[in-house]
Structure 1
């Protein structure tokens, strides 16, 4: 991180970002530079502007030590997550040893659906705070209760600790649905990046009560191979090829673990039992191709799936709710898919069984 970024309070940098995004479009384009086109996609002007301002400020989320990486993610999130979203009551919970945070929209009726959410951060970074505003947004806009799980991080707790905690959190939600005023038969799982990985893995290994929907933002689903998108977008678009290796080296230092379906869920032989899924990828994301391969395998095995590529965006867009409009619009689309998926799950419950 540059001395400029270190010396200025986050609120000052956040204000500067909002000022830059409020400039007339020709000035924003001048700052961002000439359009960037790769693989037949053009980086959205707002995404390009944010990356350019990030480079100018020195906010590049370097991979030096886990502690430094966590601090950098926390700082960058404060710059772009936007003002705290209201209209939701928030309280901490203990999920059988896994710290959690519960979001309950104001005046939401009892017996409504629940979303269990796992934050991203490469299994090394991120926490309840880093994804607080995203969880608030999902709760308020989708009209659902949200339970965010703060699973253990690597390298202090390597694979499969995060997957174990994700499973524990889901099982706790099922067991305590009545206390949360939620419908235990309408629990969805969601997450971004590493959190999307944990959501898919948890759904695959669910017990008698299974999630009814998966909400996945650019999930990591296959650590066993390098796909073309890693070569195309591995440098200059927030998540880099170097960072991906660094995260995996901390979370799963054993190469054998990279082929374990509890990490590389794409390699699971049978995905046909997974629930209907909305999977969003970003065009300029090293994880793009594996996420889309996962969606294609779900479809081949009979799982209802909506795959949505946002061609002009980069990895991590779901946390960028405070600047620009295109990032928030992409998350709002996912909210619509969540609402629809949960409504359809409710309709399936209401269909009487035939003899």
Structure 2
């Protein structure tokens, strides 16, 4: 049976309704997550209520004597994908998506290197970006010897998309490195931590992310910063000069408070002179790829195809 776009939209919107209804009886999150909430989020799979599955194909190692990465290396390697996980800069981990990353490694013939960067609030800005920068520089210098290829790609989801872009900008601005990464793949990222209009207007809908939950994780990641400070391009890369960046694929759902972030970033990326593919997924909420939806399988295929050929 052929699944139409309308079928996908109905399935997605119905899922959103059920998701919001299931959360209706939970206390609304206001302000920054407390210690108990962070403990629960860090113990369980992103978006779920069960611990993630660690696969034996994943290998943990420490690079540069400081940063832990988790690697997935298939039999045939045509490139290296530097993956940066999401989780509001305060939870999530490099071993939180083993099944997805191993499938990507095998199908796209990529060595996947996922960064276990330090988390807020114990390690606020700039600790996480520092770790991602370290991992990226290590790959630029050692990918050929470690994995047999210099073809590098970078990307992530949500906070990981933000950190991926920050990393590319740091490589360019601090080290004069451009062109080392062939492409960026950015899923539903936050690029303006002073809050775009869609972030401000989304309200308290009980989806995976909303206005108040974003305010809470921004305070964890950048404690004490005011709105103007968060507009610093090193914190909010939507305000950065984007020249010299590689081609990108940018994806976001229409029911995501970060919709404006991706729309604006795609326009600025293209204006800066690099090719960009923008994917806007009808009805999708923030973090939709965490859930068993038709649009999730479709998006993961598109991600694989893009990274395999970029």
Normalised to the residue count of structure 1, the TM-score between the two structures is 0.74
* Alignment match, 2:274: 303
Q: What is the aligned-residue RMSD (CA, Å)?
A: 2.9
Q: 2:189 aligns with which of 200, 219, 230?
A: 219
Relative to structure 1, the CA distance from residue 324 to residue 82 in structure 2 (aligned partners, 3 Å threshold; closer, same or farther) is farther
CA drift of 1:147 comes to 0.1
The count of residues paired between Structure 1 and Structure 2 equals 294
* Poorly superposed stretches of 4+, deviation over 3 Å: 56-64, 76-86
1:176 is paired with a residue whose SS is: helix
Q: Does 1:134 align with 2:105?
A: no
| Whole-angstrom distance in 2 between the partners of 1:76 and 1:58 | 19
- Cα deviation, 1:149-203, whole Å, max 9, x if unaligned, reads 011111111111111111001111222213432422x111111111101101111
2:46 is paired with a residue whose SS is: helix
Relative to structure 1, the CA distance from residue 114 to residue 60 in structure 2 (aligned partners, 3 Å threshold; closer, same or farther) is farther
* Alignment match, 2:23: 55
CA drift of 1:135 comes to 1.9
Q: 1:294 aligns with which of 253, 265, 268?
A: 265
1:196 is paired with a residue whose SS is: helix
CA drift of 1:77 comes to 3.5
Is the radius of gyration larger for structure 1 or structure 2? 1
| Whole-angstrom distance in 2 between the partners of 1:78 and 1:193 | 12
1:214 is paired with a residue whose SS is: strand
Q: 1:228 aligns with which of 198, 205, 215?
A: 198
5+ long unaligned stretches in structure 1: 1-40, 342-355
1:230–1:287 CA contact under 8 A, matched in 2:
no
CA drift of 1:249 comes to 0.7
CA drift of 1:340 comes to 2.4
* Alignment match, 2:61: 93
| Whole-angstrom distance in 2 between the partners of 1:122 and 1:108 | 33
2:283 is paired with a residue whose SS is: strand
5+ long unaligned stretches in structure 2: 1-8
- Cα deviation, 1:209-255, whole Å, max 9, x if unaligned, reads 62111010011111124313541365222102111111111111212
Q: 1:169 aligns with which of 118, 135, 139?
A: 135
* Alignment match, 2:152: 187
